Structure 1
């Protein structure tokens, strides 16, 4: 039901639209004008910035899927793809606002603070993994260096591009394949959690971290019914959400199929991001005491 009523209608249109944009070669005109901004702020090419935006707007695992799609097309280098995997997979705004803040925490007033904490943690993660020593290599690999190369690239795209109908058919097929994979992983991990709930001890500091690290939706739901105080629930909820859970890691791995990209950069990035989230949230709860 979670997949059918939430994931399917909220993510499938973005999956289809993103694939259509790539098939039709519309990405360069959309983002090339802000190239200097993406490179200076995040050290990304315009194509890499698109993967980041999709990850922010659509949520797990859209950032990884878009990165893999761009890498297959040769639009980003291996180095930039690995860099993107460390911080481009986000929990979507709809998940944060409706499911986490309203549904689980029942604190709509914490929506803005929650978004700031999680997105700030991801930005700090990007700084930690930024390949500054290879910046020149990133620039030469990801973007053409002259107008001649740009015109040659456009000519190749025009000669081998699909018609709108063909691109739309391919995008719909790709979107349904991806969304079905995600649903399968959510179902399998949710069933696995049923067995974990019976096997794990009742000790809160063992039970809820394990459930939260496996699959975030059911893990957060279980955490909300615990006897832990609200500040503790808030810290754990944001940390689990930032990490994404092993279910999202499995989804991300499936999105990388057909490429030689490794899941390791993603796992490193998620561990680092969840650590930043934990430290920032603990500081706000224990030191500043903005959450009661």
Structure 2
């Protein structure tokens, strides 16, 4: 009986696709266009290069010299710092993807992977500047403040989770599924040539980007249904849309008649959280490991709270954003 109920949401979603084809088609087109014109060209090269770095074991050379600084500043190893930087510069869900790759390859421990998931997943700088500030808010002048709020919130979030990580001093061996364990044996038995590593990296990158596209299309369809049926009450409609899927949710917010001060607080906060679609994408990046999504969700809720406080302070207290 419990298993039957677990399939109920999928059956309901299937019925919606059948009986509401117009909304389904519109949502699918929106999601596909976002994936093809935005996510694919912006993330695929980084996915390939990131996987190549992991395969060729060059992370120690890139970040090894500043190991003591990374440990003091972020509580991370050089390898973990690489995951953090990729999450910052490449955007959702690159931080989780690199964290999972490093964990599968036994470059970081389970404790460090869980810790990274709490604060290494961010919106990318290009998304913040071009999409959020220019296209959604129409205010290029708030880009610097937006960077400050988003990344300061993430750093403060890391400070809140860092003490619990320090208490876990005993390293653990990463647990991966049988297929990845076999691949790991093959890779460690003999060093991969550059060509072999590049081939493996391209396949890995296309698998990941295809997963992300599938989730984006499904959530865009769901977003299309919600936009049609949600009541035109701002306190209900916009939080639901913003927390469901970040891109289309921000677009819906931009079409509202909310004052700019409230619009800025809501859009930046929803961007910091990432939405349920990004959470599902993050979960897919953790496949074939024993890593849980719980640390990510805890970190995102913490980051959302801090972002709300910081944006409210900037807008309503010091009034540097008007």
TM-score normalised to the size of structure 2?
0.84
Are residues 1:189 and 2:215 paired? no
> 2:224, 2:165 → 1: CA distance?
46
Task: Look up the SS of the partner of 1:54 in the other structure.
Answer: helix
Structure 1 residue 201, shift from structure 2 partner: 0.8
- Please state if 1:176 is matched with 2:211: no
> 2:115, 2:165 within 8 Å by CA — same for their partners in 1?
no
How far did 1:49 drift? Answer: 0.3
Q: Pairwise mapping of residues 73-222 of structure 1 onto structure 2 (< 5 A)?
A: 73-131=105-163, 134=166, 137=169, 160-222=190-252
Q: 1:140 to 1:252 in 2, by over 3 A?
A: closer
Question: Any gaps of 5 or more consecutive residues in structure 2?
Answer: 1-32, 175-185
Residue among 285, 289, 295 paired with 1:265: 295
What SS class does the counterpart of residue 212 from structure 2 fall into? helix
Q: 1:133 to 1:184 in 2, by over 3 A?
A: closer
Q: Matched residues in 2 for 1:255 and 1:133: separation?
A: 22
Tell me if structure 1 keeps the 8 A contact 2:265–2:312: yes
- State the 1:131 CA deviation: 3.1
Structure-2 separation of matches of 1:266 and 1:102: 28
Structure 1: distance between partners of 2:188 and 2:207: 27
Superimposed CA distance per residue, residues 107-136 of structure 1 (whole angstroms, 9 cap, x where no aligned partner): 000000000000000000000000367368
Q: State the secondary structure of the residue aligned to 1:228.
A: coil
| Pair 1:251 & 2:293 matched | no
Q: Distance in 2 between matches of 1:10 and 1:238?
A: 21
Instruction: Specify which of 25, 39, 42 is matched with residue 71 of structure 2.
Output: 39
Match of 2:27 in 1: none
Which residue in 2 is equivalent to 1:150? Answer: none
Aligned counterpart, 2:40: 8
Displacement of 1:158 after TM fit?
A: 7.6
Cα contact 2:106–2:173 (8 A) shared by 1: no
**What is the Cα deviation at residue 161 of structure 1?**
1.6
Could you say which residue in structure 2 is the equivalent of 1:151?
Answer: none
Preserved CA contact (<8 Å) 1:80 1:138: no
Residue 224 of structure 1: aligned partner: 254
Which shows bigger deviation, 178-187 or 246-255?
178-187
Kept in 2, the 8 Å contact 1:45–1:139? The answer is no
**RMSD of aligned C-alpha atoms?**
1.8
SS in 1 for 2:169: helix
Write the distance in 2 (CA, Å) between the matches of 1:169 and 1:157: 13
1:140, CA displacement in angstroms? 9.8
Say which SS state the counterpart of residue 118 (structure 2) adopts: helix
Alignment CA distance shift 1:138-1:123 (3 Å): farther
- Structure 1 stretches of 4+ moved >3 Å: 138-142, 156-159
- For structure 1, the residue ranges without an aligned partner over 5 or more in a row are 143-155
Question: Normalising to structure 1: TM-score of the pair?
Answer: 0.92
Residue correspondence of structure 1 range 47-86 to structure 2 within 5 A: 47-86=79-118
Q: How many pairs are equivalent? A: 279
Show CA shifts across 1:244-284 (max 9, x none): 00000000000000000000000000000010000000011
